[in-house]
Amino acid sequence: MYTTDSVNSTANETADFACPLYQETIVTQVIKTVAYCVIILLSLFGNSIVIFTVWRNNSMRSVTNLFIGNLAASDLLITILGMPNMITQLYLGSKWIFGAAICKIVVFFQSVSVASSILTLLAISFDRFWAIIFPFKRRISFFSARVILGITWMVSLSVMAPFLYAQRVIVGTQGYEICIEDWSPAFNPVTAPKDYTLVLFVTLYVFPLLTMVVLYSVIVSKLWRRQIPGFRSSRDELRTRALRKKVVKMLITVITLFSACWLPLYVYQFIYFFAYHKIPCFDSSLSFYFTSLFLGHANSAVNPYLYALFHRNYREGFKAAWTCSKIPDNVGFSRTYSRRRSSSNATWLTRSNRSTMVERNQGNIKRRFSAVTMMNQLSVRNFAPKKQSKDTKPAEL
């Protein structure tokens, strides 16, 4: 346990670093506000349509689409809790006026949403890897996918739970309340945030991304270089390959944008916790802080439109929402197709070959039976004794 004097001194040092009110022009504030309002509206509309499309459309009841719906839910949570707070910071700076509870809730659930997104992307990567590399193995069931999503949220809540303790409201030296991360008195307020940031960066950014890079590298090499086992017709095989390639392209694009959009915020956090005494509150540092968060939030607004760009069902969902019409239920990945693919393809192949062999055997038996019948008939006709007339004598033996 640390002494009260050391805790107070560290808290005062952190409070001293709190930046003063933004000294920006009205034009700059208006431009940034409009930009945030645009991504808020795009995110609310797009992610709501994705969730509604997956929930309402029976043909979308697949494991991959369930994971994508969970990504949309995480993006909605970021939109509702994180983005409005940034608009208030444009005009209030570091000043916090919403109380201690909201200070904890906003940071905690925004962090949980980001963690859930990266873990869901990791789960999608394993699902695609298993489906494409091991096509004859049993796929992840719909029930198992729900369990996996529950685990991702539980892990995210557990990993981000320290924010409920560390995030608090204190009075800064400028005379107003600020919402900061303060780990005292239970932990060392100097080393704890650094260690925690490193742990989050490695476990929820570096490790998942490296794993996904390896998995998708194997998927791409297999999917683009080999033929799918030829128990399907050529047209069906080409359609399956095209759909799989399109889904993989979409997921790789989503992962790339996610990593690129959230990396600047990690960079800012490293600078803040490891070199904050060397960085004064000048315009470029404040601009970098705003840009890093804006990119992370913009990712939540872009994702649903990426789904619509690569997937026909989501495009139909957006069109239906825009024209207030019913979502078609017979496009894209059909539910029957996904169920058929989720069952054992080896069993299907065995059954199909077995039925084909039975049909062939039955055909051969029929042909043999017909040939035997014809021979018997010919034998009867050629060798059966003929009726003799009364005037004809029987042949001598």
| DSSP result, 202-228 | IIIIIHHHHHHHHHHHHHHHHHHHSPP
What is the residue whose two structure tokens read 């968060």?
293
Please write the tens of the pLDDT for every residue from 23-33. Answer: 678 898 999 99
CA-CA distance, 16 to 173, in Å (whole number)? 6
Per-residue confidence (pLDDT) for residue 363, from 0 to 100: 52
DSSP SS3 for 169: strand
Question: Can you tell me the distance from the alpha carbon of 228 to that of 238, in angstroms, rounded to the nearest whole number?
Answer: 9
Residues 331-349 pLDDT 10s: 444 343 344 444 444 443 4
In this predicted model, what pLDDT tens digit does every residue of 150-168 receive, in sequence order? Answer: 999 999 999 999 999 999 9
Interacting residues of 237 by C-beta distance below 8 A, sequence separation 6+: 227, 228, 230
Residue 267 pLDDT more than 60?
yes
pLDDT (tens digit, 9 = 90+) per residue, 306-340? 998 888 878 887 787 777 666 555 444 434 334 44
Answer whether residue 376 shows pLDDT above 80. Answer: no
Give 62-103 pLDDT, tens digit per residue. Answer: 898 999 999 999 999 999 999 999 999 888 888 899 999 999
C-alpha–C-alpha distance, residues 234 and 236, integer Å: 6
Q: Tokens standing for 364? A: 């051969």
The structure's pTM equals: 0.74
If we measure between CA atoms, which residue out of 372, 306, 347, 335 comes closest to residue 71? 306
